[in-house]
Structure 1
Amino acid sequence: MDLFNKHIANILRAKDEESLAIFIGAGVSKSSETKTIKMPSWGDLIDSLISDLNIEGETDYLKIAQLYYLTFGEHLYYKKIKDFFPDNIPHSKIHDLIFKLNPHSVITTNWDTLLEAAINAKTYFYNVISSDKDLMKSYLGKKLIKMHGDFKNHNIVFKEDDYLNYSYKFPLIENYVKSIISTHTVLFLGYSYNDIDLKQIIKWTQNHSSVRPPMYLVVFKDIPAQRKYLESHGIITIILADEKLKPFNNDSYSNKLYTFLYNLNSLELCTNLSDIEIINLIYSRVKSLQSLNAILAEQITRCFTNCGLMYIDDNGPKALLRFYDTEVTSSDNNIELRGFYKKFVSLLNDDEKVEKYKSHLQKLF
């Protein structure tokens, strides 16, 4: 297995062990843009602030935001920024694929509500945390942490004072995120090499043990000097070049990210899997049903997808799970996933392998 696939296997293993944390940056929100709706970058926001301030030569983003706050006051400061983020922006297919990975924690530095929209649309079970108070009241194991606040709570992190006083204003969230970094495999999506928010997180890791699960930054261009800098802080870069799937037309950035997440969900990226890895990945798809007292057949098919129930009458009515192969269906036409299931069925049809992996297979049945 090559190095790229080893990284992918680590991510999938963390997913199976419910120790995967995904950090979401502004680049992911760009996938929700339309012809009439544009999601701003840091540069867009700062350029607008500079124009209103009528200043030249200042390049410190945090200071510029602070100057705007001091010049125009809190009300106009919030109104100015909020105007860049209209309400009811639809989430994208990328947001759905993120939650389809079933990460233990989703942590974002974004202020928009796109991740919440994805949660509500598909009823994913995540507590949304935008303040320390929310964290104290949370009761679900899985959480969406908006570590830089949001407009609803009037607590966004943007200007210089916000970063300097973060430990004072968000002590519980800071400790929670630090613990996640120390104990979870971390996947950064939507961040650039020079992202201010990524630098904040890197700074948090400096005083912690180097013995921790891996951290991965997904980028679209290899810059050796930047890559080595991140490696010195324990962050491995994953370079995305595959743009096979293009649901976002000419948006190459979003197409590459979508292709990566789609393949990660469909297991296409994980080639040369051992029999044990195949069994474990199958188990990970139904692991969430383990705690239920009773299971409906439809719950199983929803976990796997690309499968159906075949009803027979063999000494009484029975329902058998059948993985699709070449069947044409109105939905669930994931060729890569069907190929993976075919390997699993082949394993089950091999008596020697069934006996060899009996202890591993028992947890499935």
Structure 2
Amino acid sequence: MGRWLPPLAFVLAVARVAAAPVVFTDRPPDLLAYALVAAMCLALPVRDDHPAITLATVGVLFLVYHVLGYPGGAPAPPLWVALFAVGAASRRRAGFVVAGLLLAVDIQGRAATTGLGLLDARLDGSTGVFLGALLLGEVVRGRRERLATAAADREQRLISERVRIARELHDVTAHTLAVVAVQAGVAADLREDDPDGSGRALEAVRQAAGDAMRELRAAVGVLRDGSPESGPPPPTPALDRLPDLAAATGAVLISEGTPRRLPRAVEAAAYRIVQEAVANAIRHSGAGRIEVRLGYRPDGLAIQVGDDGRDAGGPPGNGLHGMVERATGLGGWLRAGPGPAGGFQVRGWIPG
């Protein structure tokens, strides 16, 4: 619509000039009058980038038209468009200054021409139209800003959701691979001496793979269309699943204090932190013993996961970043590094 405003303003202004009544004091419209109208409209295409300059140019030509004695008010449509552009612009201080000067000169000129006082109500019509164009631009600017803010909020929520899903995919995949590695090793060691034990290990592999597939399908469904795929979503991980995790990975689970139900977000974050820390210990440290210690306190939950393996070293990866984000996102903290007696240790605190 914006690109059609200059030609529409030109057609309307030309029609108004041609139809304007010519009183005995007016100069009949001639080629110069229409040239001034055309020049006013030719300034409009740059109104979005330079609203103040456009309004100043159109305003000067509008005043020249009247100084030359042509019928008053007729070529106003280009001026309406320029005023609207000033109101709709993001930077409007210079444009408002130009608009104020233009309105003052217009009122003074019409008062001098008609012999009316500056505050005479009969001068309000043209001024009201000019102010209406400015206010309409202000309304449009406000709507654009609201839409831009809403779009930015949606984009931020989308980015946050993608980061959350990426973190979930990483944690689920890392944990599943760790379980598969441990249980596959057990199955291989027991294949001849303990077929039943080997079968149980392979069943644990199958169970871990099935759980991972359900969580991955749910996450992929959110990425695809914003909602989980059909079927019941996987349960939110909670601390009551830690015994199964410990059994599948060979970790030792120790609780201190009186276990109690914590907020769902706290339990989910704590479970994922432990899950990732155990998976890292299995994959990177070559640990023979992994110890998970949960400390239930009146004001929150202390988490400690340590192993007796070698320090993996190197820069922190996505898994460690994800653990830190989970803890700090709930007002807690998390630190990871070499343990006091060797190996690697993850320590954290989540209020709850």
TM category, shorter: under 0.3
Q: Report the TM-score, using the length of structure 1 for normalisation.
A: 0.18
More helix by share: 2
Larger radius of gyration: 2
| Highest RCO, 1 vs 2 (Cα 8 Å, sep ≥ 6) | 1
